[in-house]
Structure 1
Amino acid sequence: MVVADFIEQLLNGITLGMVYVLVAAGLSVIFGVMDVINFSHGELFALGAYFALSIVNPLGPGVGFWVALIVAPLIVGVIGAAIERTTVRPLYGRNPLYHILLTFGLVLIISDLIELGWGTDRQQLAVPAYLSQPVEFFSIQLSVYNYFIIVFGALLAAATWYLLNRTKYGMIIRAGSQDREMVRNVGIDIDRYYTLVFGVGAALAAVAGVVLGGYQNVNTTMGNGVIITAFVIVVLGGLGSFRGAVFGGLLVGVVQTLMRTYSGTELFEVGGVGLSIPNLEGLTVFLLMIGVLLLKPQGLFGTRGEESEGGEGDILVGGHGGFLSDSTRTKLGVVLVALLVLAPFAALFLGNRYYIVLLNEIVIWALFALSLDIVMGYAGLVPLGHTMFYGVGAYAAALVTLHYTQSIVVSLFVAVVICAVLAWIVGSLSIRVSGVYFAMITLAFAELFYNAVVKFEFTGGSDGLLLREAPFIGIAGIGAELGDIEFMILGLELEQMTVFYYLALALTILSFLFARRLMNAPFGSVLQSIRESEDRAEFIGYDTIKYKRRAFVVSGGMAGLAGGLLAASPITFIISRDQTLAWIHSGEVIVMALLGGMGTLFGPMLGAGAFIGAEEILSGYTEQWQLVIGTIFVLFVLFVPRGLVSVPSLLNQRFRQSHEEETPIGPDETEVKSDD
């Protein structure tokens, strides 16, 4: 009976794994051919399930399911092809990390379009009744649908492999992945094949969405839930390896199912001590991913080195002042700080204290974005798991407040120290790889913490930490509770939220001044040289690993300070993992950094203000505010990759060009000189 149960769970794992194979295969093929890390792949997966719902509901499950299995992937494939032609294609030649940024913007757009079209309720995708019938063999009971998924998924994976390896189209696609210019030179329009590849990859994701929708349910978070697992699979198997995607998908599906079933199960007892399987559900696959990346960065079946062949192209940083002088920029900074100091008084004068709450949120996210810019804008590293330090800082500060002291000074100090130490450890492991592999390993560490916090009682589990006591501004009993600090200025009463705002603003300004001093020092110059060309920096004698690790430590400590301020805020009553550790927050802070202008320190902080301000304004008019912000972000990636700080310079350049075109040629001037 035990053997039969194990085989049944093994088959359940293979069923789930085959769905993962279809998702990861499309993701891996797109990267292998086009060097595109497609974060919107999960939303295309969800889109396939929702299109299937629209087909099955009017036609009924008997006929509608089979029609949906064909038509829904075709529709999504066409959408994928359109995405490639309009958004991805203009980025060829840029650093592949811009594809991550672009497709994250597409995540915001597609997810809101799904909610707009189908609502937010969970729905069940009906399958034909005969597929739902249970079948029992040797005490192993599974539905016909399980066997259908396994067989259908295997056939589709085999057909995809045959297309890539045994057809003329596959030969051209593989040749294009090796040397696209060579393929163009022999008269083949490789861009059309790239469009086909992206469309096929999107269609495979949609097939998986239809199949999983009938196996579980259809909901708006299904794309967000599957994309991280898909990245784990392609990294385990090897980015760009179809064989690795198949192996990794089946491995992850089986491991997840077995750990979900047998975690905590006692195996046997020795000397009165029971030995059981550790409860590592949700952690195992990320530990596997980290281990593989550390031992074999190219994955189990991958053949690429740490950098993809398409790794040419720099990370575009914001302009350093454009046409403005240093003194002018300093004066503008002083004016902006003065406005931030006066902003609470304006809110109190208008009688709307909510604006002070909003200002606090902007300041905390500005500090978080500043911390990211140190590693992304200056060192050229894109950490997709940067929210790990934000979340750990918040949990550390909250735990200190709950169990040791209510002093904000102590809790923030502990948050910074713990996150700096964590950054040193994670950085020492992560910076051994670079490019997209660095992005993936930091994402794995963040997901590891995200899933680990629910395993411990001291973190509050899935409920989070409830903050009951008012924080104390001071140390060693010298000071006052934040709630007791109230005073009048110009007839306006300043309460605890306003006092905390000034504390957060002061810490953010000090952090900015510290970061600016650091980046203007030789240390910052070395980081920028590493960003431009790490090989050259190594050649002239710099230990690039050491410099990147130090930058990572400074960045992690600042992110921990931002998380600590979140925990210390008077309006924060609970610290939870979704609030602080969810991977989507890493994406949001990257959006802020690019929106403002990377590599400038102040640009990402402006981007944080613009992002949160736009969210606040748009959410008052529409529930689909992410659709608007995602569209703006995509346009910035395509047309203003250096961010808001570069806009004045671009406008000035455009004005000069138009002025020169309008200037008439004098009588002694000719358009072409005789000696040219």
Structure 2
Amino acid sequence: MVALQAVSGAAFLDQLINGLTIGMVYVLLAAGLSIIFGVMDVINFAHGELLALGAYLGVAITTAGIGNFWIALLVAPLAVAVLGGALERLTIRPLYGRDPLYHILLTFGLVLIFVDAIELVWGTQPLRPIDTGVLSGTISILGFQKTLYSYFVILMGSVVAGGAWLMLERTRFGLVVRAGSMDRDMVRHLGIDIDRYYTLVFAFGAFLAAFGGVVLAGRQSVGPGMGGSVIIPAFIVVVLGGLGSFRGAVVGGLLVGVVQVLVQWQVPFLEGLVVFLLMIGVLLVRPQGLFGSPEWHDPGEGGELLTAAGSGVLSGRQRRLIGGGVVALLAIAPLGIGVLYGSYAVNTIIVDILIWGLFALSLDLVMGYTGLVSLGHVLFYGLGAYATVLFALYLVPSIWLALLAGILVASLIAWVVGYLSIRVSGVYFAMITLAFAELFASLALKMPSLRRQFNPAISSLGLPTVPPLTNGEDGIGSGGFYYLLDSGPEFGDVALLGEIHLYYYVIVALVVGSYLVSRRLIDAPFGSVLQAIRESEQRASFLGYDTTMYKRRAFVVSGALAGLAGGLRATQNLGRASPGFLDWLLSGEVIVMTLLGGMGTLYGPMVGAAGYLSLEELLLSNGIEQWQGVLGIVFVLFVLFVPRGIVSIPALVQARTTAQSDAPPEDDSTEVKD
């Protein structure tokens, strides 16, 4: 018994060291995120790619014979820090004073650029871990052996984190940074160039991320998805500890690392679920995190959310005529198959645009009209897809009832998530919706494991066991049930509408109908209240409106439309749904489309979806493999220079033309003196 306890204690200590090792990497990543947010109010979604870039540079330095692990540990983070400073000056600095949403959007565009740039330089195959030399050896402590590198990571991470804290709290640089985070204008009036300090802060955050990347590359292989795999845990860390809190980043990083390892060790089928539940619980009970408000941060109210409403040059009648013309073109599009273009143009490209346009429209209801940034909106899209497929597979094989089931399930979950989430606002709302989406995505992957764990117990009670619901990574399908649509009418022996074409018209009708219903809601008093909440929730509340109720209702309607979009995508995908429908990057893409077209207009996001997917198709058809990077560049330019989206471009051109025509003519005459 004593020997067994000793072995268990040694095993626990072994797992604890593993957790502290991983947690220290999270500390390095989350500390940079917290510092940047605490000082600059910037949520940097590209932070994970900075870690990945540091890892790749570290591998390149060691494999090219330029230096060893120690050289890589210094040079790679410094190089990424220089890049981070340049990014701050060129892209982030112009956005100061705008709503924090634009920082999220901009850095998501940077993610697309970094991912493709890394693949362009280093390829898509994983690279071997960095040779850590003498640190790869083992050392025996308390009766069990552990690699020396694990202790090195814990020690080095502690030194770097401690040094960062001392720099922020005990140096003149830290004093200026803390003062600037509380009152930027006051620091400027004292004659201090606070913008230069902000550049240094962003560069320092990039340094910490890249340092963590090199450290991580000494433990595992380096691959293209490395940045995306760590950014979500990093956000969990900063939310748990408190956005902007350096102490919170340290404690949260170690806590998440240890919890992940212990759960994987003892209850592996719950791995990936516990940390999201922990994040949601903290946000609901204590939105400011375990350590409360940041130690030196006063965010203020943020800038204006620049919507495209009212920025057009067309009258309402002209817009209706154009809309009717677009619908007419969609109606006759199948008639051109085999004459003007192939079936791919209609059954794939146009259908993709319609479905993504509906998804973007659903997001616009909460983001463009209510001012709620939902980073987890893909949750309702994915649930709509799964519910549609499961209903047709296990209940009634009817596309109409299956789509209705998808809408109802997405609406129900949207009500639950909205009921819990609407009580927080701003960045915290964005984070809690992301947490819910990641929780369901992890659950979709873990469902087969959960079935294996609980079905025997359920069966022993004489109850029916749980059937396959997701099939994990393989996804689940109903066998292409969209063919259950009746064929179209016939004239003689010629079918006027084939099954595929009839399905196309179903999508057109549902998308157009959804737009008309949404337009009716926005034009009603309900929509006016939503826009009042977006402009000033406090003012709307003073006028007697229950703003929480209105936001929840808008969230449910938005979730229902997203569920319909997901159901249509599943039917187009031969009646299959997979965890890819719940990938958080899809939320980022639909936000890109919404801003690209012009949020706050309903039709703008649909235009943005058409532009985004058309550009993607153009790049792919021309053999450009780095199409995501090109889209990222286009999106970053739009965020910087055309924040109101594509639909605002005619107004910008008209304003520029009017300004030039109204300018007084230059006097080129010269006075001749005798």
Query: Which bin holds the TM-score, normalised by the shorter protein?
Result: over 0.9
Among 550, 554, 559, the residue aligned to 1:556: 559
Question: Corresponding residue for 2:436?
Answer: 445
Question: Corresponding residue for 2:469?
Answer: 459
The CA distance in 1 between the partners of 2:252 and 2:305, in whole Å, is 31
Question: 1:529-608 counterparts in 2 under 5 A?
Answer: 529-569=532-572, 571-572=573-574, 574-578=576-580, 580-608=581-609
The CA distance in 2 between the partners of 1:59 and 1:114, in whole Å, is 20
- Write the letter of the residue equivalent to 1:496: E
Report the aligned-residue RMSD: 1.9
The CA distance in 2 between the partners of 1:71 and 1:147, in whole Å, is 22
- Write the letter of the residue equivalent to 1:218: V
Partners of 2:181 and 2:298 within 8 A in 1: no
The CA distance in 2 between the partners of 1:77 and 1:149, in whole Å, is 20
Question: Corresponding residue for 2:618?
Answer: 617
Q: Per the alignment, in what secondary structure is the counterpart of residue 146 of structure 2?
A: strand
Question: Corresponding residue for 1:282?
Answer: 272
- Write the letter of the residue equivalent to 2:552: R
The CA distance in 1 between the partners of 2:73 and 2:491, in whole Å, is 67
State the shift of 1:349 in Å.
Answer: 2.0
Question: 1:217-256 counterparts in 2 under 5 A?
Answer: 217-256=221-260
**Aligned in 2, Cα 1:485/1:214: closer, same or farther, shift over 3 Å?**
farther
Q: Per the alignment, in what secondary structure is the counterpart of residue 215 of structure 1?
A: coil
Question: Corresponding residue for 2:672?
Answer: none
Question: Corresponding residue for 1:148?
Answer: 152
**Aligned in 2, Cα 1:202/1:146: closer, same or farther, shift over 3 Å?**
same
The CA distance in 2 between the partners of 1:440 and 1:591, in whole Å, is 17
The CA distance in 2 between the partners of 1:517 and 1:227, in whole Å, is 39
Q: Per the alignment, in what secondary structure is the counterpart of residue 619 of structure 1?
A: helix
Question: 1:25-424 counterparts in 2 under 5 A?
Answer: 25-59=31-65, 63-263=67-267, 279-303=269-293, 309-320=299-310, 322-350=312-340, 352-356=342-346, 357-424=348-415
Partners of 2:282 and 2:290 within 8 A in 1: yes
The CA distance in 1 between the partners of 2:645 and 2:36, in whole Å, is 28
**Aligned in 2, Cα 1:498/1:312: closer, same or farther, shift over 3 Å?**
same
Question: Corresponding residue for 2:29?
Answer: 23
- Write the letter of the residue equivalent to 1:118: W
The CA distance in 1 between the partners of 2:57 and 2:501, in whole Å, is 49
- Write the letter of the residue equivalent to 1:121: Q
Range that drifts further, 456-465 or 20-29:
456-465
Question: Corresponding residue for 2:461?
Answer: none
The CA distance in 2 between the partners of 1:170 and 1:554, in whole Å, is 46
What residue ranges of structure 2 are gaps of 5+ in the alignment? 1-6, 449-467, 668-674
- Write the letter of the residue equivalent to 1:99: H
Range that drifts further, 86-95 or 352-361:
352-361
The CA distance in 2 between the partners of 1:398 and 1:419, in whole Å, is 13
Identity of aligned residues (%): 54
**Aligned in 2, Cα 1:437/1:490: closer, same or farther, shift over 3 Å?**
farther
State the shift of 1:471 in Å.
Answer: 2.3
State the shift of 1:313 in Å.
Answer: 1.1
**Aligned in 2, Cα 1:308/1:324: closer, same or farther, shift over 3 Å?**
farther
Task: Tell me if 1:471 matches 2:490.
Answer: no
State the shift of 1:219 in Å.
Answer: 0.5
Partners of 2:390 and 2:478 within 8 A in 1: no
Partners of 2:481 and 2:574 within 8 A in 1: no
Question: Corresponding residue for 2:523?
Answer: 520
State the shift of 1:501 in Å.
Answer: 1.3
Partners of 1:237 and 1:299 within 8 A in 2: yes
The CA distance in 2 between the partners of 1:425 and 1:374, in whole Å, is 18
- 1:160-205 Cα offsets, whole Å, 9 max, x none, are 0011000000000000001011000000000000000000000100
Q: Per the alignment, in what secondary structure is the counterpart of residue 218 of structure 2?
A: helix
- Write the letter of the residue equivalent to 1:406: P
Partners of 1:390 and 1:581 within 8 A in 2: yes
TM-score, L = length of structure 2: 0.92
**Aligned in 2, Cα 1:64/1:347: closer, same or farther, shift over 3 Å?**
farther
The CA distance in 1 between the partners of 2:223 and 2:498, in whole Å, is 43
- 1:25-45 Cα offsets, whole Å, 9 max, x none, are 000000000000000001111
Task: Tell me if 1:14 matches 2:20.
Answer: yes
Partners of 1:398 and 1:465 within 8 A in 2: no
Question: Corresponding residue for 1:273?
Answer: none
- Write the letter of the residue equivalent to 2:229: G
State the shift of 1:493 in Å.
Answer: 6.5
- 1:115-173 Cα offsets, whole Å, 9 max, x none, are 11110100113223321112222332210110110101000001100110000000000
Partners of 2:389 and 2:478 within 8 A in 1: no
**Aligned in 2, Cα 1:304/1:153: closer, same or farther, shift over 3 Å?**
closer
Among 645, 648, 653, the residue aligned to 1:646: 648
- Write the letter of the residue equivalent to 2:271: E
Q: Per the alignment, in what secondary structure is the counterpart of residue 348 of structure 1?
A: coil
- Write the letter of the residue equivalent to 2:32: G
Question: Corresponding residue for 1:433?
Answer: 424
**Aligned in 2, Cα 1:22/1:664: closer, same or farther, shift over 3 Å?**
closer
The CA distance in 2 between the partners of 1:613 and 1:245, in whole Å, is 41
- 1:578-607 Cα offsets, whole Å, 9 max, x none, are 2x1010000000000000000000000111
Partners of 1:13 and 1:253 within 8 A in 2: yes
**Aligned in 2, Cα 1:483/1:90: closer, same or farther, shift over 3 Å?**
same
Question: Corresponding residue for 1:271?
Answer: none
- 1:317-349 Cα offsets, whole Å, 9 max, x none, are 113362211111111111111112222222332
State the shift of 1:308 in Å.
Answer: 6.0
State the shift of 1:537 in Å.
Answer: 0.4
The CA distance in 2 between the partners of 1:623 and 1:495, in whole Å, is 35
The CA distance in 1 between the partners of 2:584 and 2:536, in whole Å, is 29
TM-score, L = length of structure 1: 0.92
**Aligned in 2, Cα 1:491/1:654: closer, same or farther, shift over 3 Å?**
farther
Range that drifts further, 459-468 or 99-108:
459-468
Partners of 1:96 and 1:311 within 8 A in 2: no
Q: Per the alignment, in what secondary structure is the counterpart of residue 535 of structure 1?
A: helix
- Write the letter of the residue equivalent to 1:203: F
Range that drifts further, 452-461 or 250-259:
452-461
- Write the letter of the residue equivalent to 1:462: G
The CA distance in 1 between the partners of 2:664 and 2:343, in whole Å, is 51
State the shift of 1:488 in Å.
Answer: 7.4
What residue ranges of structure 1 are gaps of 5+ in the alignment? 265-278, 474-480, 666-676
The CA distance in 2 between the partners of 1:132 and 1:576, in whole Å, is 39
Q: Per the alignment, in what secondary structure is the counterpart of residue 456 of structure 1?
A: helix
**Aligned in 2, Cα 1:340/1:308: closer, same or farther, shift over 3 Å?**
farther
Range that drifts further, 552-561 or 119-128:
119-128
State the shift of 1:491 in Å.
Answer: 8.0
